[in-house]
Amino acid sequence: MHGSELLGSGDLARCCCLMGWAPWPGVPAIRHGRSIDSAGILVKDAPMLGIDLKGKRAFIAGVADDGGFGFAIAKCLYEAGATVCVGTWPPAYGVFTKLLEKGKFDESLTLRDGSKMEFEKIYALDADYDTLEDIPEELRESRRYKQHNDVSIAGVAAEMKKDFGDTPLDMVVHSLANGPEVKKPLLETSRKGYLAAVGVSAYSYASLVSHFGSLVKPGGSFVALSYMAAARVIPFYGGGMSSAKAALESDTRVLAYEAGRKWGHRVNSISAGPYNSRAAGAIGPMQLMIDYASKNSPLTSELTAEEVGTSTAFLCSSLSSGITGTVMYVDKGYHTMGMTVELADEISAVVGPSHGRG
């Protein structure tokens, strides 16, 4: 640049920041992530790009123990600064809250700085029912239900509004699924079992967005958990659950449009890889599925619940403000593969080493 050329204010600011100088009095310069005041003195580490959920509140539907994705998501959102409320299935509510009170989850609740996550409130939630009137009277009067008021989706939404005000939420996570006949092949699945799987595992997301949409501040985020069986054949994942996950992912796109236009909310899903949670144990020998996925994925390490948690935190943060109607795969790249590594090795032995293999 010649001395006769004039710098615009934007050019001046960029040049000064690159050199570590203050562009003008009172405005700090940034140099290698550090803040320098107008006198050129290093003040402190400058804030770097990160997930900041301070002052925000999350509701996670489907947390009943410390071993699943829901708990890990709660922990990541909390660690990012959010307050966290959860919805727990009524039959599991008593055990879950008692174990919390007795400190049985203390190790799982511990954060990186040594402090412990605390749930702001735990609601009894049965996502199989949209309103109190939908719950059969016999079930409402049963021991594990009658101690709570209204455990339907609409009931919990109304209770949250009563507890925290008209728009108390910033993010809602759908972390629940149930297929009563999940071990049955689709050919042997009853209509009742099929519809039950779709109702709890898929329609409940639409109901959650419908009933909680007005409680979420404009620009809020909804996230659901899906699985690759929505788009691929996974034997032994039966009882209509693959159909439920396909419906969930389709609904994610439609809900993104409708909730985006109505409230300005974003709606996404995460397709997580196999993980050995307590709930997943009902499907079958999960470790075999995990080992197979690890052996045949681009990234060979096993998926952790925390990786799903941090990905959810990203989708709930302003960093993902341009993302909606998306199914994000968090599975070490397993969904990209079209051939097993074993078969690739056999072919390689005949035609020579393939590219990209170590």
Active site residues: 227, 237
Are the CB atoms for 131 and 125 separated by under 8 Å? no
Torsion of CA 221, 113, 120, 208, to 10 degrees: 20
Pull the structure tokens for residue 253.
Answer: 């796109």
> 241-263 and 191-198 are packed helices; what angle lies between their axes, rounded to 10 degrees?
40
The whole-angstrom separation of Cα 73 and Cα 330 is 13
**Are residues 208 and 252 in contact, defined by beta-carbon separation less than 8 angstroms?**
no
